[in-house]
Structures are given as C-alpha cells and as structure tokens.
Chain A
C-alpha cells in the first residue's frame, strides 16, 4: 500500500521535475541576454533536479539510495550558486550584457574601465 503511494508520488515528482527542466530550457531560449538567462538556467533547473532526486528517493525507499540522493542534491545546491555568480560577475565586468534591459545598476561606479585599470596598475588609485 505505502509502496504504491510512494511510487505514485515518485512519478509525479519525476514528471514535474522534467517539466521544470523544460521551463529552464525555454527560458534559456527566450530571454534576451546572459544575465536574464542565468535566472532561467539556475532557478527552475535546480528545483527540477531536486524534484527528480526526491522522486528517486521515493521510488527506491532504501537508506543507501537516500544517502546518494542527499549527497547529489547537496552538491547541486552548493555548486549552482557558485557558477552562476562567477558567470554573472564575468558578464557584468566585461560588459557583455544589454544595458537597456537594466532598471537599476547599483554597481555602475565600480565597473572596470580602461582608465581605471591603468590607474590601478600604476598604483595611483585610492583603495
């Protein structure tokens, strides 16, 4: 009885996880620049993977599989913020994003320009 309930729940989480991954890919295709695509490529993607892994844990119902699934979910949650942060930082600092889509740019003062880089290399800028 409880096996069937868990199997049905696992099926539901698998399909919803796959639908969320499809939403992530759709966002990747439709959004206008790198910074927006980062939103699409991280949030629904991570939730989709977590749902699918919950489905795996529900399907197998063994402690060893639960441990493997927990470790995979933990790694996913740890690594996606790191990679998206670095990609966003690189995109912003190298200017490869669309400025007309930004509403507020709070970091505009600190963006590296040629003059500031030369200043910094010569040691004449203020900390």
Chain B
C-alpha cells in the first residue's frame, strides 16, 4: 500500500500542476472553470490516498463535501460568463 501511494501521489501532483497551468493560461474563463473542476477532483483523490495509507477515517467526510460543492464554482462562472455576442466584456 505504501508503494501504491508513493506511486499515486506524484501522479496526482503532476496532474494538479497541469490543471494550474491551464488555470493560468486558459484563454477564457470557462477553461479555468473546467480546470478548477479537475483540480478539485485531484484533491479528492489525494485525500483518499492519504486516508488509505494511514487507515483513518477523519478526512472521508471532507471528500463527500468536496464532491458535492466543488461544481458550484464552475456553475457560477458559467452563468456569469454568458453574454450575447454583441456585448462588451469578458469571458
């Protein structure tokens, strides 16, 4: 199990870095919304890996809550980025 976690956590770290690059670069707000979703999923996986390694249940409730509320940021960004084509302003 230690070997598996030591394999999985660097993969998750590289994935999180990739999401960060997309958040910084992403030409529109919606790219950043998608990347944030993936970043939170990576966080859920990392928390689960740590709970598996040390066999404690303390962080599992955080995983449940993160799964539920992580999408509200993306939904809010999607709602506020909706502009008719002739209007000024970001996405």
Residues of A near any B CB (own CB < 8 A): 7, 10-12, 14-15, 17-19, 21-22, 24-26, 28-29, 34, 37-38, 41-42, 45-46, 48-49, 52-53, 55-56, 59-60, 64-65, 68-69, 71-73, 75-76, 79-80, 82-84, 86-87, 89-91, 93-96, 112-114, 117
Contacts and interface: CB of A to CB of B under 8 A. Distances in A.
A87 B42 contact: no
B85 A86 contact: no
Contacts of B64: 68, 71-72, 75
Interface SS, B side = helix
B19 A94 contact: no
B75 A83 contact: yes
Across the A-B interface, give the 9 residue pairs with the lowest CB-CB distance, nearest first: A11-B4, A25-B18, A18-B8, A25-B15, A79-B71, A83-B71, A114-B86, A18-B11, A86-B78
Nearest to B66: A72
B33 A72 contact: no
B63 A68 contact: yes
A112 B87 CA distance: 12
Given A21-B41, A94-B81, A59 B71 contact: no
Interface in B1-43: 1, 3-5, 7-9, 11-12, 14-19, 21-22, 28, 30-31, 33-35, 37-38, 41-42
